[in-house]
C-alpha cells in the first residue's frame, strides 16, 4: 500500500480503542477452539470459472468455495448466520500468488473456510470502492495494509478483523481463533466491529466546511510545498526512506511550480528524481516501461508488476519534465514508455490491457526480467558482456535472488567506454547489441498478462497517447488513441452509463456471448467515479487535439453523469453500487498512486464549462474546488491534484 495510511483515522482514539478490543479477542495464539458450525451439501463449489476477471479465474480451481461479491451474497450470509471471509487481490500481485499457492490451494485451509465462512474473492481493479473501504478498515486496525487484503466480516457485512499476507500455518491458526472466539463471545466481537465501523464513518464525515479564498488556496499550496520538502529524499530522489513509489501526482505539481517560478534547488531535486526513476530499477532497461515501485529507497530492486496506469502517468510526466527541465533524455524516456504501452499492453481490439504480472509463468517473482551469470556469458559475446557488465551492474553479487536485473550503474556513456577501454561509439554499439540479444531471450519466455480493459485506466492512456501524438515523430500514436476512443465510446458506454471493464476477447460482462469465454454472464461491472473522471480527462485531451464537437459532447455527458451519480451534498462517493455498511462519502478524495478522481473530475468540469460556456456548471465546479475543511491543509501532500486544479484555473486569485 502507499505510505499515506488513512488520514484523520489512524490516530483517532475511538478507532484505536475499539481496534484494540478486536485485537485482544482475536490475536492470542493459544485459544481454545469453539465448536465448528456444519454446513452441508447445499454449499456450492467454487464459482469463479466464468468470472469477468482474469485474477478471479486464477482461483477457479482452488478447493475454496469462492464466490464473487454482491449484495445478495451478504444477505445470504446474514440469513445463514455465517461469517464472511473476503480476500482482495489483483492479477499482477506477487504475494497474492504466493498466498494462493500456500493457503488457498491447501485442502485443509479450504475445509476450514468452507465449513465456517462464505468465502469471497475480489479483484481490486474491478471493485476499487469496496477495496478502499476494506483498506481503510485494515489500515486503521492493523496499522498497515496492502495486498492480498483479507478481511473477516460479520454475517451482517461489518468488518471484524483484517490482515495481509500470512504463511499458511499462521493463517490457519488465526482463522481457528476467530471461529472459536466468535462461537464463545460473539456479542463482544460484534459490538466492537460495529463500533470501529461507526468510528471510521464518523471520521470520514467532513468537518464544517468553508469556502477558501485566495489566501486559503495559497496557504494550501504552501502546506504542500512544506510537506513535500520534509519527505523529499535529497540523496536518491523521490519521497520517503523506505519503498520508493513514483508519486506521480506530487511530481506533477512540483513540475508546475518549477515552470511558474524556476528554483535551482527544486530543479536539482526533480532532475535527480526523474533521472533515478529512468535509469535504475524502477524502469525496465531492456524492454521499456516502468515497474510499480522499488522495495528499497535507492530505486534498485523493483516490485516487478507493470501497471497500465503507472506507465501512462509516468510517460506524460516525462514529457512535462523534458519541457520544464530542458532535458531531451526525458523526452526519449517518455516516447520509449509509450512505445512499450502500445507494444506490450495494446489490445488488437482497441485500448489497453491492465497489467503484466510480477511473477513469470513458472511462478518466479521477476523471473521474466532476470538473467543469471551463465546465461549472460552464453548469450553475449565477450565485448558485449564486458560493456553490459559495466553499464548495467551485471558483475559481482546481485541484490536479487534469481539473477541480475540490468540497471544503470555508470552515469554516462563516456564512463562506460573508459572503463571498458573502448571508444564511446564502440561502447554504445556493444550496449545496443547486448540489449537486442537479451530482449530476444526474454521474448522466448512467458509472462502472464491481465487482459481486462478498464475504462478509467484507458482514459489515462488516452491522455498520454494524445500528448505523444503531438510531439515530434509522434504521429504514429494517433491511431492507437483513436482505438481507445472507440473502446470507450463504442464498448464501454452503455447508453448513458459507463461500464468499468471489457475483457480481452472482446465479449462484454453481462452478455450471453461472454459465458464460457472467461467472462461471466452477469450484469456489467458498473463504472466508478475514477472511471468517469479519467475517461472525461482523456476525451477532452483527444477532442482538443484530434476530435471535434462529437467528442466534446461525449465528454460533457460523462462529466454530467459523474456529478449525478457520485456527488452528494456531503461530498463524493467512489461508487454508486452497494458496498459495506457504514460506507460514507468524502468531501475531497485524496491522491493515491493515481490522481484524485474528484479533483480530476472537477478539472474536467471546468474544461467542459469553458467549452460550452456553461456558467452554472463552472460555478458548481468552482465551489467544490474551493470548499475546504480543517484536515485539508494537514494532508496537503496527498491533495496535489486538487491544488494543481486550483492553481490552473487561477482560483488562487480573488474573483
Cβ–Cβ < 8 Å for 632, 9: no
Listed residue (655, 611, 545) closest to 211, CA to CA: 655
CA dihedral 61, 152, 453, 501 (to 10 degrees): 110
CA distances in angstroms from 53 to 74, 127, 211, 312, 391, listed in the order given: 20, 11, 42, 22, 40
Q: Where are the domains of the chain?
A: 13-204, 236-345, 360-447, 453-511+520-576+586-648
> Do residues 145 and 135 make contact, with C-beta atoms less than 8 angstroms apart?
yes
Higher pLDDT, 464 or 74: 464
What is the mean pLDDT of the segment spanning 305-312? 97
Cα 407 to Cα 280, 286, 404, 461, distances in angstroms: 5, 9, 9, 26
The H or E element that residue 471 is part of is: none
Give the class (CATH, top level) of 453-511+520-576+586-648. Answer: mainly alpha
CB atoms within 10 A of CB 464: 28
Q: Which ranges of 117-213 would DSSP assign to H, the alpha helix? A: 128-142, 168-184, 186-204
Q: Could you give the percent of the chain with pLDDT greater than 70?
A: 88
Distance (Å) of CA 155 to CA 76, 81, 127, 160, 339:
9, 5, 20, 10, 49
Select from 265, 246, 372 the least CA-distant residue to 311: 246
pTM exceeds 0.75 for this model: yes
Kindly indicate the confidence band of residue 316, based on its pLDDT and cuts at 50, 70 and 90. Answer: very high
Q: Does 218 have pLDDT greater than 90? A: yes
Q: Is the pLDDT of residue 163 over 80?
A: yes
Q: Which residues pair with 493 in a beta bridge?
A: 498
Range in 316-320, 375-379, 650-654 the model is least confident about: 650-654
CA distance 162 to 417: 54
Q: What is the pLDDT of residues 325-359, one digit of tens each?
A: 999 999 999 999 999 999 999 999 999 999 999 99
Distance, in Å, from the CA atom of 398 to the CA atom of 404, rounded to the nearest integer, reads 6
CATH fold of 13-204 reads Glutaredoxin (3.40.30)
Higher-confidence residue of 409 and 274: namely: 274
Q: Does residue 17 or residue 563 have the better pLDDT?
A: 563
Question: Euclidean distance between the first and final Cα of the chain, in Å?
Answer: 40
For residue 9, what pLDDT band results from cuts at 50, 70 and 90?
Answer: very low
Amino acid at each position: 500500500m502507499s505510505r499515506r495510511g488513512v488520514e484523520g483515522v489512524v490516530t483517532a482514539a475511538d478507532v484505536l480503542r475499539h481496534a484494540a478490543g478486536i485485537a485482544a479477542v482475536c490475536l492470542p495464539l493459544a485459544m481454545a477452539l469453539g465448536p465448528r458450525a456444519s454446513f452441508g451439501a447445499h454449499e456450492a463449489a467454487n464459482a469463479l470459472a466464468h468470472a469477468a476477471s482474469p485474477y478471479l479465474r486464477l482461483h477457479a480451481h482452488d478447493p475454496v468455495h469462492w464466490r464473487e461479491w454482491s449484495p445478495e451474497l451478504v444477505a445470504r450470509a446474514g440469513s445463514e448466520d455465517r461469517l464472511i471471509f473476503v480476500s482482495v487481490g489483483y492479477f499482477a500481485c506477487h504475494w497474492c500468488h504466493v498466498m494462493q499457492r500456500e493457503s488457498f490451494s491447501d485442502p485443509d485451509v479450504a475445509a476450514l473456510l468452507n465449513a465456517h465462512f462464505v468465502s469471497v474473492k475480489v479483484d481490486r481493479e474491478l471493485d476499487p470502492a469496496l477495496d478502499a473501504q476494506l483498506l481503510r478498515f485494515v489500515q486503521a486496525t492493523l496499522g498497515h495494509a496492502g495486498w492480498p487484503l483479507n478481511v473477516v466480516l460479520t454475517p451482517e457485512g461489518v468488518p471484524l478483523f483484517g490482515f495481509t499476507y500470512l504463511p499458511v500455518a499462521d493463517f490457519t491458526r488465526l482463522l481457528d481463533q476467530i471461529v472459536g472466539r466468535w462461537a464463545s463471545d460473539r456479542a463482544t466481537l460484534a459490538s466492537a466491529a460495529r463500533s470501529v465501523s461507526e468510528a471510521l464513518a464518523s471520521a470520514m464525515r467532513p468537518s464544517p466546511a468553508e469556502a477558501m479564498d485566495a489566501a486559503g488556496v495559497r496557504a494550501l499550496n504552501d502546506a504542500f510545498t512544506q510537506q513535500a520538502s520534509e519527505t523529499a529524499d535529497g540523496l536518491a530522489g523521490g519521497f520517503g526512506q523506505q519503498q520508493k513509489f513514483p508519486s506521480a501526482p506530487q511530481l506533477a505539481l512540483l513540475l508546475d511550480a518549477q515552470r511558474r517560478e524556476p528554483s535551482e534547488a527544486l530543479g536539482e531535486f526533480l532532475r535527480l528524481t526523474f533521472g533515478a526513476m529512468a535509469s535504475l530499477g524502477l524502469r525496465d532497461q531492456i524492454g521499456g516501461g516502468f515497474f510499480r515501485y522499488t522495495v528499497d529507497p535507492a530505486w534498485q530492486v523493483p516490485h516487478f508488476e507493470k501497471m497500465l496506469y503507472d506507465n501512462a502517468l509516468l510517460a506524460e510526466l516525462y514529457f512535462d519534465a523534458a519541457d520544464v527541465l530542458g532535458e531531451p533524455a526525458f523526452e526519449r524516456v517518455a516516447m520509449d514508455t509509450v512505445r512499450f504501452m502500445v507494444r506490450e499492453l495494446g489490445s488488437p481490439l482497441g485500448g489497453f490491457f491492465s497489467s503484466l504480472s510480477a511473477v513469470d509463468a513458472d511462478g518466479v517473482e521477476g523471473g521474466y526480467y532476470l538473467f543469471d551469470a551463465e546465461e549472460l556469458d552464453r548469450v553475449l559475446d565477450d565485448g558485449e558482456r564486458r560493456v553490459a557488465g559495466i553499464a548495467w551492474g551485471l558483475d559481482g553479487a546481485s541484490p536479487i535472488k534469481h539473477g541480475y536485473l540490468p540497471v544503470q550503474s555508470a552515469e554516462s556513456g563516456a564512463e562506460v567506454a573508459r572503463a571498458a577501454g573502448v571508444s564511446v561509439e564502440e561502447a554504445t554499439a556493444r550496449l545496443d547489441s547486448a540489449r537486442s540479444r537479451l530482449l530476444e531471450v526474454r521474448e522466448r519466455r512467458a509472462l502472464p498478462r491481465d487482459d481486462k480493459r478498464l475504462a478509467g485506466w484507458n482514459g489515462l492512456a488516452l491522455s498520454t497517447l494524445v500528448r505523444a501524438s503531438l510531439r515530434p515523430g509522434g504521429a504514429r500514436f494517433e491511431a492507437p488513441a483513436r482505438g481507445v476512443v472507440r473502446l470507450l465510446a463504442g464498448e464501454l458506454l452503455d447508453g448513458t452509463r459507463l461500464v468499468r471493464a471489457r475483457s480481452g476477447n472482446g465479449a462484454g460482462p453481462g452478455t450471453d456471448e461472454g459465458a464460457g469465454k472467461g467472462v461471466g454472464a452477469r450484469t456489467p461491472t458498473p463504472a466508478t467515479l475514477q472511471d468517469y473522471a479519467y475517461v472525461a480527462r482523456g476525451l477532452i485531451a483527444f477532442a482538443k487535439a484530434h476530435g471535434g464537437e462529437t467528442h466534446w459532447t461525449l465528454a460533457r455527458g460523462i462529466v454530467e453523469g459523474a456529478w449525478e451519480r457520485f456527488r452528494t451534498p456531503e461530498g463524493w462517493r467512489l461508487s454508486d453500487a452497494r458496498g459495506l455498511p457504514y460506507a460514507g462519502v468524502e468531501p475531497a478524495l485524496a491522491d493515491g498512486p493515481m490522481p484524485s478522481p474528484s479533483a480530476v473530475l472537477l478539472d474536467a468540469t471546468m474544461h467542459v464549462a469553458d467549452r460550452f460556456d456553461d456558467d452554472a456548471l463552472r460555478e458548481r465546479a468552482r465551489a467544490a474546488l474551493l470548499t475546504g475543511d480543517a484536515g485539508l491543509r494537514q494532508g496537503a501532500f496527498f491533495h496535489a491534484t486538487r491544488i494543481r486544479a486550483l492553481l490552473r484555473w487561477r482560483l488562487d486569485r480573488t474573483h
